[in-house]
């Protein structure tokens, strides 16, 4: 199960649920605009999820994600929903992001009890992983809404979108959020050699360890000073770290061309920390040793 924590199933894999979600999508107009995101805390039928529902509601968890995504000028309505699913999962389909109480409960139960050796506090792990799953699904939503062409796997693209958005929340937010989001993968660092079935590598998502390294590489590439310790502590091997600036710049370049035109700049300045990360002014050059 741990290996699957960061997974989300494509709509094709959950046809029954996808159909149900599609039927509940609100009627929309075609003019792209901000303010089209609604939230939906579905009351749990499973009594075990009631405390989770209450905490999420009390802390305004969906409202926070709604605010982060508010600068996006959407052509249709987008709903952020938490509900009982009967499984640990999250997905995007037809204008609705669904994150199951079971998924959030799993994150909660597996969060560290105290701050870890890599400085991930219990709250960082909870909040970071929760942001990551919503923003990963938001990546799928934006690719859908804006008909973004994605070279490579869309799951990788959604991870990149989530990482980029978390970095946009500012210097003080980015480090705990990014490190918190990676918490589930940290067991790999303590057990550096794993044995997996070959079928694990057929998954539509990258292997968990790859997703971990991709995530921290982008963060380190964006702000090497802020994320210096991921290299100092050997969470990210030097051989990968040396080209992370290129990887971040390639992502920032893609975002600026494919997503940025759909962002309300005035609102974006208010909600996101737009000034602390570099945005390339030309297409980043691949490192000469890249093959």
Residues lying near Zn ion in the complex (CB under 5 A) are found at: 8, 155, 158
In the DSSP assignment, the letter for residue 2 is: G
Nearer to Zn ion, 21 or 155 (CB): 155
Which CB sits closer to Zn ion, 143 or 175? 143
Q: In terms of CB distance, is 6 or 227 closer to Zn ion?
A: 6
Nearest approach in angstroms of CB 15 to Zn ion is: 16
Tell me whether residue 241 or residue 251 sits nearer to Zn ion (CB atom).
Answer: 251
Contacts of 188 (CB under 8 A, 6+ apart): 194, 208, 209, 212
Residues forming beta bridges with residue 99, ordered by sequence position: 82, 90
Residue closer to Zn ion by CB (options 189, 204) is: 204
Whether the Cβ atoms of residue 221 and residue 170 lie closer than 8 Å to each other? no
DSSP state of 38: E
Closest CA to 140 of 94, 75, 83: 94
Minimum CB–partner distance for residue 133 and Zn ion (Å):
9
Name the minimum Å distance from CB 115 to Zn ion.
Answer: 29
Sequential DSSP letters for 76-133 = S-EEEEEE--SSS-EEEETTEEEEEHHHHHHHHHHS-SS--TT---HHHHHHHHHHHH
Q: Provide Rg for the chain, Cα atoms.
A: 18
Identity of the residue, 148 or 158, whose beta carbon is nearer to Zn ion in the bound complex: 158
Instruction: Report the 10 Å Cβ neighbour count for 138.
Output: 25
102 vs 202: CA distance, rounded Å? 25
DSSP 243: T
Query: Of 44 and 208, which CB lies nearer to Zn ion in the complex structure?
Result: 208
| In the complex, minimum distance from the CB of residue 142 to Zn ion, in angstroms, rounded to a whole number | 12
State the DSSP code for 287. Answer: P
At its nearest, how many Å lie between Zn ion and the CB of residue 136?
Answer: 6
Cβ of residue 95: shortest distance to Zn ion, in angstroms? 16
Q: Least distance from C-beta 9 to Zn ion, angstroms? A: 8
């Amino acid at each position: 199960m741990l290996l699957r924590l960061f997974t989300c199933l494509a709509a094709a894999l959950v046809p029954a649920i996808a159909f149900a979600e599609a039927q509940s999508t609100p009627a929309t107009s075609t003019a792209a605009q901000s303010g089209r995101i609604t939230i939906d805390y579905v009351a749990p039928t499973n009594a075990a999820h009631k405390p989770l529902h209450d905490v999420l509601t009390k802390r305004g968890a969906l409202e926070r994600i709604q605010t982060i995504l508010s600068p996006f000028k959407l052509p249709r309505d987008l709903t952020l929903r938490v509900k009982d699913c009967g499984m640990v999962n999250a997905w995007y389909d037809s204008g609705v992001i669904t994150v199951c109480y079971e998924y959030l409960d799993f994150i909660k139960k597996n969060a560290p009890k105290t701050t870890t050796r890599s400085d991930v506090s219990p709250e960082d792990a909870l909040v970071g992983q929760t942001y990551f799953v919503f923003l990963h699904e938001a990546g799928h939503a934006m690719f859908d809404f804006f008909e973004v062409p994605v070279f490579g796997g869309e799951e990788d693209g959604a991870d990149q979108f989530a990482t980029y958005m978390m970095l946009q929340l500012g210097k003080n937010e980015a480090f705990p959020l990014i490190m918190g989001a990676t918490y589930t993968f940290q067991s790999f660092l303590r057990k550096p050699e794993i044995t997996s079935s070959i079928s694990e590598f057929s998954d539509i998502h990258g292997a968990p360890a790859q997703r971990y390294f991709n995530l921290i590489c982008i963060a380190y590439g964006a702000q090497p000073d802020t994320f210096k310790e991921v290299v100092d502590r050997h969470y990210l091997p030097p051989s990968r770290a040396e080209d992370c600036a290129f990887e971040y710049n390639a992502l920032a370049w893609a975002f600026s061309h494919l997503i940025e035109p759909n962002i309300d700049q005035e609102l974006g300045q208010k909600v996101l920390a737009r000034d602390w990360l570099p945005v390339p002014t030309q297409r980043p050059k691949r490192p000469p040793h890249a093959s």
